[in-house]
Structures are given as C-alpha cells and as structure tokens.
Structure 1
Amino acid sequence: MGVRGLQTYIRKNRNKEKFLSDYTLRDTKLIIDGSNLVYFLYQFFEIPFKFGGDYDHFARECGDFFSSLKRLRVEPIVIFDGADDPTNIKFKTHLDRLEKQSRKVEMIFQQTRRTLDIGDTFILPVLAELTFRNVLVKLGIVHACCLFEADSEIAFLANKFRCPVLSADSDFCVFALEVGCVHPADLLPLPEHLLDYLPTKIYNCRVLMEEMNMVDDDVILPVFATLVGNDYFDSSNIKFKSPTKNSSCELSGGVHYTLDWLKKAGFRSGTEAFKKLTEQLSDETQKSLFVKSVKSYFNIYCTPDQHDAVDLSEEVLETVLSRCSIKVDLPKWFILGLIRCDINSKFLLNIAINKRYLFKSQIEDHRNPPSFACSKGIRRVIYEILVGQNPKKEQRKIKEYHRVKTNVSNVNPLKKLPHFPKLPHITDIGILNKHSRKTLLFAIFGDMVEILPEEMDETSSIIILMLSLWQRNSKASVDQLKAFVISIFTMQICTADDPNEIEILSVREATVIGTFEKFSTNMKIHFIERMDLNENIVNVLHKNAQFQSIYKEMQVLNQLLLKPVYLPNPERFLQSTLVCKVFLFLTRDNGKPEEVFCKKTSRLFVLFEYWLELIEQLCERCERHICPVASTVASATVTRNVNAHKEKIKVSINNAA
C-alpha cells in the first residue's frame, strides 16, 4: 500500500541512527515480501531491462541471494500478492500507476531514439516475477501466494514465527511487528566472504511510537500513516482540529509535519485520535476510507488466506479452503494452484473475480498498438474458460485497461475453436485427461497444427507455433525472426552444463554430437562478450514486447490447463539484450547465421533453417488479423509444399555432420 515519504524520512542520514538499530541476521525464519523483493533485486543488481529483460542474469543473482541466506541458516518464507482487492477501494490508485508506467515507457523511448542512456527510469520486465518464482522452486524455498494483497498476511506470519520481515514497503513501518522489518538495502550487497552471521539494521515501530509519546499503542501509527496518505486515503485538502486548539489545519506537509502535529495535538491515545478524527469527517465516503485505512494496519488477524498454509500440507490447505470467501464458483484445485504459485493468480483471479485486467506498458513503442494486442486471441480462450458460462451477459465481458485510464476495451470470450467446438468451463478442467487438455492447447492454433511434423517434440512444436503467431501478428521481419530463433537456441545451449540439460528436444538432438562446447564458445565470442548497443532499435524492442506477451499468456493458458505441455522457463529461453545483439549482427554488421553455427553443414544450422522455413509455411495459414487463432481455411498447395519440405529436411539432418 505504501505510506507516502515514510521510508525516505526514516532512512535520512539524520534519522537513521534514531529509527534503525543493529541486528544480526542468522538462525531465524525470514518472512519475505516477494512482490516487493522482485522489484528491488532486479533494480539493485542493475540487470539490463531497457531491451525487455535479461532473465538468465536475474535468475543467477536471485539464486546467489537465497544461497547466501541458506549459509546464514536463515529460512526464508516468501509471500506474494495476488489479485486486486475486489472492493475497488484502490482501483483508482492502480489506474494512476498504470498511467505512470506508461509515461515512463514513453520517456524511455524518447531517450532511446537519441541515446540508450535512460537515467534512473526503471521498468520491471514482464516475466521477472515468473523467473523469481522458478528460482524458489529450484532451490526448494517455501513460498505461497495470497489471494489478494499480502501485507496483513506477511505481518501475521512474522509475529507468529517471531521473526523479521524483509521488505522495502513502508507499510511494514506501521504494522505492529514484534521483531521488526529489515530493508533489503541494509542487507545488500552481501559481503564477498560471508561469515555465519550478517550484521545489518532493523526498524521497529515502537521507535516511531515514542516520537509521538505513545509507547505500545498499536492504533496511533495506523492513524498517523492514514493522515500522511496512502493508497486508501488522501488527506490533502482535508482540515482537522486538534483537541487543544480551536483552529483547523490541513495535513499536507508530509511525514515530519504530521508527526509534529500529532505530538502537539494532545490526544491521550491512538484510539482517542482515531475516534475524534473520524468524527470530524462529514463526507461519508472519506469517513469510510479513513476507517478502512486505519483498520487495515492494526487488524493483523488470520484472514481466509494462507498464513497457516506455508507448509503447504494437504490438511492445512483444506482448512484454508474452508475459510475462503470467494463468491465465484472456482474449483478446489484452482485455488490450491493459486496459493502454491502453480498458477498465475494475479492475472487469472483478476479475470475470474474482478472481470478486468490492467496491462502495464512494457518496453514498447507507443506509436504502435499495445504489445499485448498481439496475444488477444489466447486471452479470449482463457476468458471463455473462466467466465464464458456466466448467465449474465455483462459478467462475460472482460475490461482490458492499458496505457491511460481512459483506454479500456470490452473483450468477449471466444466461444469455440475450429478443432474444439465447445470450450470447457474452469470446473471441468480437472476431469479432462491430459490428452484432451493438450489437444485444447494446440487447438488455439487451428489448422496450423496440421503442418507440424508428427515426429516433432511438443515443446519444439509449441515454440514454433508461438513464433509463427508472433511473426504474423507483429509483422516482424525475417531478420527479426532469425534473431529470435538464434537467441532461443543460444539460451538453451549456453545455460546448460551439458547437452542433456537442453529442454527443447530438437535443439538437444542437434547439439549432442560434438557441437555443444564449440557452439557455446562461438556464441560467447559473437554476442556475450562484445558489441556496443548504441543504435536505434526501437522496432526490435516493440517486437520483443509482443513476443513476451504471447509467451506469457501461453504460459498462463498452459497453467490453467494443468500444464499438459512443457514450456521452457524465461531464464532458459529469453534474453532480450541478446535478441538485439543478434539483430544488429545480422543487419548492421551484415553477419551470416552460418557464422554463428560454425558451418552450413552443422546439424544446428540445418535445424535453424528448418525452423525458419516451417514458420514461413505456418504463417501462410495463420489468421490475418490480431486474434492469434489460426484460420480454418486450409490450402492444398501449402500442404503439398510442406510435405515435400519435411522430406527435404529429414535428408538434410541425416546427412549433416
């Protein structure tokens, strides 16, 4: 939620010694605000973001961070935010943030056209949180997702386990935390030679209470935070009277002014301040928001969410489910998947409950349609599964917001697909077998699937189909497509320790015979250790954002269908800086793909050409408008050409060195 200016005030040089005390981090649980830490870590480690996100770099830094905590015998429990509050109290704030990010992206592109030095402007790449969660899974770190906002749950867990919170969110300076809150900036950078303990700083709310001469008063800080201003309540232009003075004053002077006013106001307790200030609000809406804001801080209680479910045992999860008060017909496996982070809760729960989603701008060119328009057809299938059977017509429409608060589209679910005439409801997914769920996933590509070779593995097939949709819907050039395919091959090979770790089977088979080490070395020479990015590549950045939208929503649909197909994670699949480097190599430097693949007769180069020609054939069948569901009209000529091409490729691969 955030108290305006509070972290800055606490962390000012003259206030640090007063508000922050020494703390030794070791042998403890640590409740981590996951949604906040993703943002902080990506920015702190200065991981490139201006081309769309370098997820392999981010995954390495996150892995090192959590490995260091393990050496300190710290047991992290990571909790994420879920969907937006369905009461809509903070909806205006969410829209304001949508516009703010849009303005930041426009600023980046204005500067990018002149120079790639974009100053302090930062945009969190769209797949960063998914990458972060993958690291947690790989390292076996306990994590869970709230159904809605996580602050109260995080505070509850910290007090339950008598351990600190790790977050940069100023709300945790207000909650009555028994141990306190550690800011990530006081934890990082970690020492190069880490001992078995880490000296750091911790904040405890009692110090701020003492500033107002009200020790152990759990209500005064929530009142103070609300008066300063947060996502619930805006105190500007509202005049309050103190018990000791007849005159009224506006509390628009920030943290220091509000602290000083409360100290001099003469309230005997936080409860008295809460009661008397509430009575002064004549506007019922303002009064309601004031009360809700204050209570949101001092009511740290067991809401129907997952504080008790961090061990993720079936018995405890059943208890959590019995407390859930969601007024939508959602199956048990779906709610469990949300809590366990197996399913993208922010997107799917916002659709199922709030019937809307706010698409924050990626690094994309605002002179073009939004990047997420490229994947609209995939979302329409998701919408049908979640809300398509709602008897009320208006409840079947999903509002999509983008760039500015007035940009909103009403999107109807897609009722059927050419090869799947009746889409299932969310309550039916759990009873479908894996083959049916896989058939549905591929059905969104229509007749394009018929072109794919039967012997091709599912992961290669789905990636090729995504690239085909992307090229058709984004109008990407051949060089841009080549850059993506080379980058995907590179990420698969260069992030693997040996060929058996390559996840895309066709790529693994093409590298297993003596080419693995040679290709890895060659790629590092070409792209990882050189090339200065100082050119206008705006069009490539927008195309990259479009592909990431398709990839993200295919991941969401795959999760919703209980993962019938394996899709590589972002850290093994996408590196946006590399895509741009390869594109410049092909265009500015007149580079040849065979230079990357060592020689024209290498199996990898043959596979590369195979993918390109197959995508070209698939695009001929792809529907010719924004909706990515493929055309139902088949072309006999195309089919004959593809069959001939399949035979040609088989011979080429078999003969390749």
Structure 2
Amino acid sequence: MGVQGLRTFIESGNRSDLRSWAFRDSRLIIDGCTLYYTLYFDCNLDQMHGGDYDAFEEMIILFFENLRDCDIHPYVVLDGGADHTDKKWDSLRKRKQEKINAAFALSAGKRANVLPILVKNCLKEADFEIAALAKEWNCPVLSNDSDFYVFNFSAGFMPMTHFQWKNVEVHRRTNNKFIQAKHFTVGKFCESFRMNPELLPVLATVLDNDYVKLPNIKSLGWEKCSMPDSEHTRIHDLLNWLSQFPEPDAAVSALVKLTRNKEKPLVQEALSQGIQEYKLISGYLAQFFDSKTISQAASSGPLQVLPKWTLSPLLEGKMSSSIIDALVHQRVSLTMQVEDFQLPCSSETSRPIRQVIYGLLLLGEQHTADKLELAVKTSPGTSKHFVEEYGRQQSKLSSQKVEAIKTTVMEGLQLETLWKEPHDVRLQVLLDTLGVSSEILKEIQPALQLQLFVTCYWLVNAHPLPSQVHLWGLLLGMVYGQFSSTPETQRDMLLKLKKLQTGRKRISLEHETTHLYSQWQSCLKWSLCLNRLLCFPVSEPEVARLYRGKLVHQFVEELRRGITLHSLLVKGSSTEQLFKQLKDAVVSLVGKDFLKKMRTGLKHRAAGKKQKNYSGQNPPIDELSSCFEHLTCEDIDDCEDDDDLNEKRRKSKAKDHKTENPDACHTIRTRHKVKACFE
C-alpha cells in the first residue's frame, strides 16, 4: 500500500527515473485495486449519488479492448482483505478514518473521492504475489503502489498515472498499435546512486512503509551526504547515505549503532522484517493463471482456515475477501458510503445478513483444538462467536462486536461441506435471511429474484422507511439499466427516460434519499456475498445494470415534483412491461397493504395556493397520491391515457389523506414480520 514519499520523489520533474515506453505485445500484470480506483476517479464518474456502475463497466470494457488492440495480454490481481499477520492494522485503521472523512465531505457537498460500494470484490493483500508473478513471467506490473518501486524484478514497473490507455497510437513505420507509458526499473534507479538494489528495502523500512513501524528516526548521520537545495531532501540524503554500504546487513548494523540503546532491539527486528518483506520467492498465481489449479502454497498459511472448495472462487474474485477477514481475524471492515451522517451507518440495515454469513463461517466449521480455544477467548463460558465490525458513529471510526447467528435450516450445516448441501437447503438459508417465502419463489423469474428479494428486505428493514417514490425510482433505474445496452433501433422506448437523464446538469443531494439508497446497496452487497458463499442458490444479477445513482436520484426528484410514471414509461413498450413485472413482484413479496400504507414521498402543494372550503368534508386526496395508489393496486396495462386519467381524477370523490409518521414503527420492525408495522 505504499512507501511514504517515494512515489513523489521518483515521479518529480527533476528526475529521469521514468523512461518513455511504447508498450505493446507483452503480458501485463495489473494491480486490480489501482485499476478500479484510477478508472473510476479519472473518468469523473458519479460518487455523490452512490455510483454509476454501467458507465464504469463501459470504461472497464474500453480499457481491455485497447489492451487487446495492442496485443497486450492482461492478468488482473485483485488487492483487498486484511493481511493475516496484522502488521498493517494501524495503517488500515488510519485509512478507514480517511475514507469516512471523504464520504462525510461528499455528503456535505465538498470535493472528495469515495469509491462506490459495489465496484469491487477483492481478494487478499496482493502486492507480494503480483511482484512474484512479474518476476516469474518476466513481465511488467501496472500499478500506482509505490511498493513496486522497491520490489526488484527485471521487467520493471509502469505507474498507472502515466499509462495513456485511452489514446492508442500507431507506429508510423510498422503500423503496430501501442500505448504510451512510463517505465521504471530498480536497476537503473540504483545505478544513478551507485547503490546495491538490495538496499532499497532498507530505505522503504526507514521511510515507514505500511508493513514495518520504526521509531521516529530524524537524522542518524547522513546529513553530510546531502546535496544542497535538493527536493525531497530526506529521501535523497538517505539514498546517498545507503550507497556507501555494500549490502543490507552492513546498513542495518550502522543504523542499529546510531540508535539509542533501548531502541536497538526494536530497530534491528523491524529492519530485518522489512528486508524480508521484499524478498521475492515463487508464488501461487502463475500456476493458477496457467492451469486454473490451486497449488499447495495457496491452501497453506493464513488460508488454511478456509475449506478447499472456497479457494478457486476466491482466486477468481468471485467470493468476497470478507470471509477471510471474518475467519482469520474475526473482524470485518465495512465500506463507507455517502449518506446522512446524523443517522446510524447505512450498513446497520444489512447487519442481519452479515450475521448469517458469520454463522455459516464460524458456527458451522470443524471444531479443531485451536478453533475451540479461540471460541473460549472470544466468549468465555459460551459457544457464541462474534465478529468485530468496523464502521462509523457519526463521522468517527467505531467498532462493535456482532454475534454470529444460525437460522433453523442452518442446524447441522458444516462450512467444509456446504457446497455439497442440496440446493433447496442452501436456497432456504438465503430466503430465511431475506425474509422471503418459498411459496412466492415461482412467481418471480430467476433473473430478477435476488435484486427483488434484496429490495423487499430493504423496504421492510430500512430506516427511515422508504417512500413510494424511492421504490419507483429504484425500479425505474433497474428498467433503464436492463434496456440501456440494447441496439439503437430498439431504444425508442427509453426516449423519455433518456431525456430525463440528460435534461438537467446538476442533481441536488437529498440526504434521506441518499441514505436509503446507501442502505439498499449495502443490503445488495452482503446478499451477493451470502449467495456466493451458498454456492449460488439463485442467479446473480448484473450489478452494473441495477443502479445508476445520478439517474435514480433524478427519478425521485422528478416524481416528487409531480411527473407521473405514465410520462416516463412509453405505453405498451417493453420498459412498461418490465416495470409492471418488477412492481408486481414487489407486491407479491410484501403485500398490497404494505405498499398502500407507505408514504408517497410527494411534495405538498405550495403554501400560498388557494384551497376550496370543504365544510364538513375531508379534503381531497392529492392528485398525484391518487395516481400512485392507482399504480400500486392495479396493473399498469389498465391505466388510461393521461387525458382520461385527469378527467377521472376531476370526477373522483374526496378521500381521507392521512400522513404517516416514518418513524412510528421503527422500534417494532423485524426482519421477518412485515405486518407488524401496521397492526
């Protein structure tokens, strides 16, 4: 995750350590974490409204298409999960607080960078494996992580910030396509200082990288090597000082001698550990990429707590690294989102889903002696297991212990053999967790099941309670995502939605809407994780098609302002039919009464508007509320044209219009009891 100051030192304009390279026709190992962050942030995609996943997917596709055009063969290594030794935990906590600060800044309308919650599903800390693979294959690495300025492999390192992938160029003489890049090699860098490359890990350790923490070493006698008026003086001075030593042991001995007596053992240990971290030995990724087989090395060490059947999906990026964190450390770090920071963290809504995940991981594993000992330490005198979740309390990093739980159907399940369990058993675990009756399952087509199960779980468990406009906005977003990739000739049905998307440049950030959709995304993230752990009892939706933040927020804003669903959906079109299908599925899952008693979410008429005097009668229901009630309780196919509907409204009788309190049933809602809110 980086060596402090080294990247800016090397990439500064006064140095020539980065050399131009017309890169083509080669294997390329890509740091997946850098790829996600760089493509998302550099392409100016939405962050404030929860993310634009379809636009991000388009960037990903374009990126790999451009590599293919240049005969570049990419291998992406995902970077995530906590390091099993915990030596980076202090740095991770600090960065977690920084991410909270960034999300808080965005929620307040300020500039910051926050990666949307569904952008990636990562594996473990992968710097070492990337470097080992690069050495074994003799091919370069693409990343922004300054650790790669220290790893010594001959093919070198290309910073992502200088990789001009958007502009594929053509060589005038050969007509070969290439991407202009900057290239760094440890050998050439060390030549400029006449230094042994094996001394670079000593530099990284003294500069206080993520792996090793040293006492505050300000000056240990290398000022005499300093060049006057040089930038990044400390790094330059240290490099010059290190160059006088033939090998690392001599430099370590000198550093130890220059420290105070009481710190000598700590410095000796830390430096030795730091040097060891950068020694490259064969990893297990080469074998996996070449033959899709798992080496013995992959299933040993920290991953030995995992059943063998989980290793392949983990290595393929098809299973969340959170299961490693939960098993190895009994700790999970929650993703921060843009939301209302005066309310509890949006991840609170999805906690019951995570509790089932923890139950499958911790309560259904084989009880070896070391795991029983851990259980005793975790909760003395009981068989309970807990996972420490790191989230936020307002804008500060906080943690709390969350109990792993079992549903009835989970009794007797073992993690080691979970993949062998009958499909019906694994499916029932998912349905019980999301509060879905198996009787309704057949009414919903498989491709829509998980997204609708999650949506109904969110409707019942979110706080504040979602209104109808929040539900319609979410479903409209799903409709748009489903059809947005169809050929141009079939997009006439989307014209109204597209006009709404492009009609207004700036969408305000409404905190209630933002918080509710952050809760929905958190529920989807952990439901995907559970579905994968259960070996896909239901089909997994295309996440990039489910949510386009800015557009969904705009749907909500326009619906609140008075635009009708009829004006957004072309009558008789496939979009209208899909919306009806989604709406009917929601009704079948939560019931008509639930939807009818939801807040409409519509804005009230302007205060100065003249009102008729209905002496002795209840005031008429808002016209738009009537339209929503109509759409909720009747088929969209039966809706009249707008003129007929308006005429019908003018003739309608006055009805009661009661305003629900959105907080009224919060204290009595549970995962599985929808009706409790309204009894």
TM interval, shorter chain, is 0.7 to 0.9
Aligned residue for 1:490?
480
Alignment of 1:614-653 (within 5 A): 614=588, 616-617=590-591, 629-631=671-673
Q: Does 1:339 align with 2:315?
A: yes
Q: How far 1:454 sits from its partner (Å)?
A: 3.2
Alpha-carbon separation, structure 1, partners of 2:669 and 2:273: 42
Alpha-carbon separation, structure 2, partners of 1:198 and 1:222: 31
Q: How far 1:124 sits from its partner (Å)?
A: 0.9
2:346 to 351, 371, 379: 371
| Alignment check: 8 A CA contact 1:19 1:208 kept | yes
Q: How far 1:31 sits from its partner (Å)?
A: 0.9
Q: How far 1:558 sits from its partner (Å)?
A: 0.7
Aligned CA distance change for structure 1 residues 553 and 485 (closer, same or farther; 3 Å)? same
Aligned residue for 1:5?
5
Aligned residue for 1:258?
235
Alignment of 1:199-598 (within 5 A): 199-214=180-195, 217-235=196-214, 237-239=216-218, 241-242=220-221, 255-264=232-241, 267-271=244-248, 272-278=250-256, 280-281=258-259, 282-283=262-263, 284-297=265-278, 299-303=279-283, 305-314=284-293, 317-321=294-298, 324-326=300-302, 329-344=305-320, 346-389=321-364, 391=372, 392-395=375-378, 396-403=385-392, 407-417=398-408, 420=409, 422=411, 424-446=413-435, 448-449=436-437, 452=440, 454-474=442-462, 475-497=465-487, 517-527=491-501, 529-588=502-561, 590-598=562-570
Aligned residue for 2:655?
none
Alpha-carbon separation, structure 2, partners of 1:493 and 1:626: 39
Alpha-carbon separation, structure 1, partners of 2:255 and 2:169: 52
| Alignment check: 8 A CA contact 2:28 2:73 kept | yes
Q: How far 1:596 sits from its partner (Å)?
A: 1.3
Alpha-carbon separation, structure 1, partners of 2:356 and 2:232: 48
Q: How far 1:257 sits from its partner (Å)?
A: 1.7
Alpha-carbon separation, structure 2, partners of 1:459 and 1:595: 27
1:222-243 alpha-carbon deviations (Å, 9 max, x no partner): 1112222211334563355349
Q: How far 1:371 sits from its partner (Å)?
A: 0.9
1:168-193 alpha-carbon deviations (Å, 9 max, x no partner): 11111111120211112222253266
Amino acid at match of 1:64: L
| Alignment check: 8 A CA contact 2:128 2:280 kept | yes
Q: How far 1:288 sits from its partner (Å)?
A: 2.9
1:539-575 alpha-carbon deviations (Å, 9 max, x no partner): 2111111111000001100110111211212212111
1:129-183 alpha-carbon deviations (Å, 9 max, x no partner): 24xxxxxxxxxxxxxx76x321111111112111111011111111112021111
Aligned residue for 2:149?
173
SS in 1 for 2:389: strand
Amino acid at match of 2:445: D
Q: How far 1:287 sits from its partner (Å)?
A: 4.0
SS in 2 for 1:541: helix
Question: Larger relative contact order (C-alpha < 8 A, sep ≥ 6)?
Answer: 1
Q: How far 1:278 sits from its partner (Å)?
A: 4.0
Alpha-carbon separation, structure 1, partners of 2:138 and 2:536: 37
1:97-138 alpha-carbon deviations (Å, 9 max, x no partner): 11111111112222x2xxxxx33x1111111124xxxxxxxx
SS in 2 for 1:444: helix
Alpha-carbon separation, structure 2, partners of 1:313 and 1:394: 38
Q: How far 1:520 sits from its partner (Å)?
A: 2.4
Alpha-carbon separation, structure 2, partners of 1:619 and 1:370: 29
Larger radius of gyration: 2
| Alignment check: 8 A CA contact 1:586 1:592 kept | yes
Q: How far 1:456 sits from its partner (Å)?
A: 2.2
Aligned CA distance change for structure 1 residues 599 and 44 (closer, same or farther; 3 Å)? same
Q: How far 1:393 sits from its partner (Å)?
A: 4.6
Alpha-carbon separation, structure 1, partners of 2:139 and 2:526: 37
| Alignment check: 8 A CA contact 1:243 1:267 kept | no
Aligned CA distance change for structure 1 residues 491 and 628 (closer, same or farther; 3 Å)? farther
1:283-313 alpha-carbon deviations (Å, 9 max, x no partner): 344543332223212x11125x434322243
Alpha-carbon separation, structure 2, partners of 1:628 and 1:274: 60
Q: How far 1:273 sits from its partner (Å)?
A: 0.8
Question: TM-score normalized by structure 2?
Answer: 0.78
User: Percentage identity across aligned positions?
Assistant: 24
| Alignment check: 8 A CA contact 1:25 1:200 kept | yes
Alpha-carbon separation, structure 1, partners of 2:159 and 2:273: 26
1:461-490 alpha-carbon deviations (Å, 9 max, x no partner): 332221122122221111111100111111
Alignment of 1:108-147 (within 5 A): 108-110=106-108, 112=109, 118-119=110-111, 121-130=112-121
Alpha-carbon separation, structure 2, partners of 1:359 and 1:41: 22
| Alignment check: 8 A CA contact 1:278 1:290 kept | no
Q: Does 1:59 align with 2:57?
A: yes
2:26 to 17, 25, 28: 28
Alpha-carbon separation, structure 1, partners of 2:343 and 2:557: 22
Alpha-carbon separation, structure 2, partners of 1:357 and 1:626: 28
Q: Does 1:152 align with 2:128?
A: yes
| Alignment check: 8 A CA contact 2:303 2:324 kept | no
Amino acid at match of 2:563: G
SS in 2 for 1:22: strand
Aligned CA distance change for structure 1 residues 295 and 256 (closer, same or farther; 3 Å)? farther
Aligned CA distance change for structure 1 residues 565 and 270 (closer, same or farther; 3 Å)? same
Aligned CA distance change for structure 1 residues 210 and 192 (closer, same or farther; 3 Å)? closer
SS in 2 for 1:310: helix
Alpha-carbon separation, structure 1, partners of 2:349 and 2:541: 20
Structure 2 residues not aligned, in runs of 5+:
171-175, 365-370, 379-384, 599-664
Root-mean-square deviation (Å): 3.2
Aligned residue for 1:502?
none
1:340-359 alpha-carbon deviations (Å, 9 max, x no partner): 22211x21110111110111
Question: TM-score normalized by structure 1?
Answer: 0.81
Alpha-carbon separation, structure 1, partners of 2:220 and 2:4: 22
| Alignment check: 8 A CA contact 1:479 1:583 kept | yes
Alpha-carbon separation, structure 2, partners of 1:179 and 1:370: 45
Aligned residue for 1:644?
none
